[in-house]
Amino acid sequence: MLLLVGLGNPGTGYAQHRHNVGFMAVDAICAAHGFGPFRQRFQGQLAEGRVGSKRALALKPSTFMNESGRAVAQATRFHKLEPGQVFVFYDELDLPPGKVRVKQGGGHGGHNGVRSIEAHIGKEFWRVRIGIGHPGDKARVQGYVLHDFAKADRTWRDPLLEAIAAEAGLLADGAVDKFMTRLALLAQPT
């Protein structure tokens, strides 16, 4: 079994924020793979389904970003999952918009949601970093991530989310390099 975690902030006011692209990715995966409905569980919204050859749980923590690790820890303990069975989808300032990088382990890179998960389950979970670009000035970062995607961003965001959902089976089956290659080919703006 796998746990697919989308990071974001709960509530409709945050739904289209750049910081919520992790929620968007998990929603896209659930829709594409016919997951059941989300229900309240583990301090978050949880849905069940299959991705590739694996049974999977999708979790969107209802805690705010800085406390995401609490929900992830509850789900991993209950289902007796190891960190290597957890894939966390989140926004990455240091990647150009539309680029995705996947790796197991590493640092939090200043991302408070990832920092919280590390504090609760350790560092060896999978990180699916979704590039949102950088505003260019460190002082503008908070306003940038806590603001809706611009309409122009939809030309790369929407095809990327569709590609992540379509190719999620590769991630689930351990073909990480192939997943990233397929995204590079599929996620071209329309």
How much of the chain is in helix, strand and coil states, percent to nearest 5? 45, 25, 30
**Count of beta carbons in the 10 Å neighbourhood of residue 1:** 11
Non-local (6+) Cβ contacts of 39 within 8 A are 45, 46, 47
What is the residue extent of each domain of the chain?
2-186
Give the range with max mean pLDDT: 77-91, 103-117, 140-154, 174-188.
77-91
Which pLDDT tens digit goes with each residue over 7-16?
Answer: 999 999 999 9
pLDDT at 64: 87
Catalytic residues: 19
Are 171 and 179 in contact, with CB atoms under 8 Å apart? Answer: yes
C-alpha distances in Å from residue 35, one per residue of 32, 143, 165, 190: 8, 33, 12, 27
pLDDT at 46: 98
Which pLDDT tens digit goes with each residue over 42-81?
Answer: 999 999 999 988 999 999 999 989 999 999 999 999 999 9
pLDDT above 70: residue 188? no
User: Which class does domain 2-186 fall in?
Assistant: alpha beta
What average pLDDT does the segment 20-48 reach?
97
DSSP letter (8 states) at residue 134: -
Apex 185 CA angle, 183 and 190, nearest 5: 95
Helices vs. strands in the chain: H and E counts, helices first: 6, 7
pTM score, whole prediction: 0.95
Residue with tokens 């945050």: 14
Q: What is d(CA 30, CA 166) in angstroms, rounded to the nearest whole number?
A: 10
- Per cent of the chain over pLDDT 70 is 98
Burial class of residue 50, CB neighbours in 10 A (0-12, 13-18, 19+) = middle
